[in-house]
């Protein structure tokens, strides 16, 4: 079997995870935008911006904790309650 015949499995949570690691407030903004109803907890966006200003890691931890507790907008992450 050649390499072109082997499928590559990419998890759908990879995109949100990359956004969260590059700029946590962008992940939190998109997360709040995609929720139903949109922007129901806007304080999360401001908390993420303030925490990211304190040397990046507190904002990253906040974004990852949101991802873990509420899931992402891809609807197949373990944190989403269906």
Task: Please indicate, yes or no, if residue 33 is contained in any of the structural domains.
Answer: yes
* Predicted pLDDT of residue 10: 78
Q: At what angle do helices 57-70 and 14-22 cross, to 10 degrees?
A: 160
For residue 29, give its domain range: 14-70
**What pLDDT, on a 0 to 100 scale, did the predictor assign at position 82?**
46
pTM (two decimals): 0.77
State the total domains in the chain: 1
Q: What is the separation, in whole angstroms, between the first and last Cα of the chain?
A: 39
Residue 4, in any domain of the structure: no
- Positions of the chain with pLDDT under 50: 76-82
Q: Which two tokens stand for residue 29?
A: 């903004």
Residue at 27 is within a domain: yes
Q: What angle do CA 41, 36, 15 make, to 5 degrees?
A: 85
Residue 30 lies in a domain: yes
Let me know if 70 is exposed, middle or buried by CB neighbors in 10 A (0-12, 13-18, 19+): middle
Residue 5: inside a domain, yes or no? no
């Amino acid at each position: 079997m050649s390499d072109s015949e082997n499928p590559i499995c990419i998890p759908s949570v990879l995109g949100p995870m990359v956004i969260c690691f590059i700029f946590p407030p962008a992940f939190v903004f998109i997360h709040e935008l995609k929720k139903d109803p949109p922007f129901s907890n806007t304080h999360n966006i401001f908390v993420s911006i303030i925490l990211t200003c304190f040397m990046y890691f507190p904002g990253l931890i906040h974004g990852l904790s949101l991802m873990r507790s509420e899931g992402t907008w891809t609807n197949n992450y373990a944190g989403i309650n269906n």
